[in-house]
Structure 1
Amino acid sequence: MFPRDLYTLNFDGSHNNQKQRAGAGCIIRDDNGELVVAAAYNLVGPDLSRCNVAIAEAVGLRNGLRLARERNLNLSVIKGDSQEVIELVRGAQGRTQPPPLTSIIQEIKGNLGHASLLQINRASNRVADKLASMGSSLVTTESKVFTRHDEVPTQILDLINQEKAGNEGEDNRSTNGLRNVTILEAGNGEEDSHQDNDIRNVRNVAARNGGEDNRLANGIRTVGLVAAGAAALWGAFTQAPNIMRLLNNINAHYTLQYFGSDRNQVQKARAGCIIRNEGQFVVAAAYNLDNRYPGCNVALAEAIALKNGLKLARDNSVQLDVIDGRNREVRDLVLGLERMPPRFPQLSVVIQEIKSVLRNQGIQPEDLNINHVDEETIRVARELATVGGLLRQEAKVYNKLEDLPLRVASLFSANFA
């Protein structure tokens, strides 16, 4: 049974150094998308000169956790678009942080509880973003808290309703999956009729043989109905992809990491990618690009790795939350940030293939959350690419952690397990 009273917290921060303004915002909603509490904060005071975007974002998260604690709300999911803050809360080691941020992160860690912390793109965090912007403009007070719809500014209320409507669209697609269950059960009616006839025959025989046999027949009838019902339900679920996808993605946080490299004196052109759910392995693959893509350069290899990773996500019914890669050119081309066409014609083809894969799944490329990271962050994908350069065949997919080459499995365990 799914838990009741699920609450989601979204947070964001705003900082404008030129105008000397900073704000934070957060909103808590129930599992129907209804407002529970929201707040906007003006980060004024002596620490403003030391404030930056990360501090503003962290204050939004910290204050959201405080609101939840004050109201005894058990948060199940926390969402924000700040990679830096989320990585700091998860324990990532980085450059030395200013004291205000360090102390805020420590408070956050102490109040996080068992909630899942997810990084989302900014387009999916519009309500918290607008609250943070509002907070930076507050004059008469340092904070403003809303607990009723009629208190919320119209522009923010409209965004809340839009996001709620979007979530209801997802629910409707799940309902279609449930409707498929009903249709499948109806389609099994003829087979169930044969089972009922068999059960009826058992019952008739039992009636002739007395009360003891009648009790036995009732037992057989119960077992038969339970077994038939279970089989029909399982068959319906396995044939209803919307339901399976919904179950697979509840409380999940999927990350795709990809890596590609061109031919050199030692290795062939190659690519690798891996999908994980927090510390859990999902699927990985290695690719030898030499035969299909002669003259492959680094950007093309990286784009192929991304394309193949997106296809793996699609084939495994995975909804990606974060994508990590090292090539800024590929990221900017996919997101539409690079206006100049690639100089390498094959790269243009692969970029269009990537966008096609996304749009076929109802995803707009510009909504992807693609991070530009250093090579060490994606060293598991890099090692998979090395494996790809040694393959005799074009590709190898790994569906289980124990199937990975020893070196790759060791790196995965050291980094994520």
Structure 2
Amino acid sequence: MLSPELLQRLIDAIDAVFDRSDDFEFSVEIDPTEAAPEVLEALVANQLSRVSIGVQDFDPKVQEAIGRTQTFEQTKTVIDWLRGQGVHNINLDLLYGLPWQSGTRFRATLAQVMTLAPTRLAIYGYAHVPWMSKRQTMIPTAALPGPKARFELANCARDTFSAEGYVPIGIDHFARPEDSLSQAQANQQLKRNFQGYSDDPAETLIGFGASAISTFPGGFSQNAAATSAYQARVANDGLAGMRGFVMDIDDQVIARCIEQLMCYFAIDRAALSALPADRVAEVWARFAPCQMPSRTRCRSAQTGLRSMTGFNPLSASLRITSIPTWPTATRIPPRSDARGGTHSQPSRSVSCSVSVTLSPANHVRPYSTGTLSPFTLIPVDRNSGSPSFTCSCRASVASANIAVSRVDARV
């Protein structure tokens, strides 16, 4: 971290160019093991309003394996000091899938994290790529949890956060109901950028420093990755950008659709109204095989799935959308499924998009792969009026009926 003197020079330089808005937020990522008191004091003196702290895992054996020693006490001391200075917006980041992580160890970490009462939480899956990150070659591969264990660890975190009242945000974030991120999601103003989920309405994000990425309405630009190259470009040209991508209108439409899916697990065509209608229509047509009726969409919500009308979650226990163009016919007798559920066994099949609601919504979990997922492709009899797929839910809490809502007739 920069010294207090260099930190102040940097802040003064930014303030000399940009005026602070009324809703100005000053957020900094802090490592509790390197957070010197004088640096924290300098940040607070410059209106620090939010802090992000990487926890990963508090278990000593896990920390030793990843070469990162950061005790719970060190983290709590920094957080308590910040709150004493009026900085109440605290974000904590955790990882699942780390070496030696187990359900017991991870639950202990989650219990400690909950005592810190963060405003926001993020839970990411550890990616083991030693061919790209040389330091990961020191991590014992045999100690890494397998796919099923990773899924259970992620579910453990999700269940813990939800039970404590945190609102799920997108694919990997959680926030207190009163937090601005939760409010942005509720008001359809949530954004996703290179830094994660955001409630910032600005269309331009300027990145300073080596490898930083800037976002503009018409594309992206990335600074030189090496510090020496970054410094040379700034000294010689005044601009540090090394590469970028200019988005045409189609790219902008697709980018907005991707952002909608990342934020809400569905696409609201009304959100594309600011883009040229003819280009939106053409790009939209490409998505036709994947679309469900606008009144019925799927999204992940807490530990299960819920049907949505527009973007408003329904509390109904089951929603079946029939297909008017299909004549009603007797369903083929179901056959047993390896997971304990049953599904129809057709002689001819097509690929279908499905709309599902599980009941009770707060206690049912979808399977990670295979049997049940938000956009499962299910073989159904082409002559059936309302084909269905029945699956026993995890932990045998309930069963869920899934009805076809739209068909992409690819026999």
Q: The TM-score by the shorter chain falls in which range?
A: under 0.3
Structure 2 length-normalised TM:
0.25
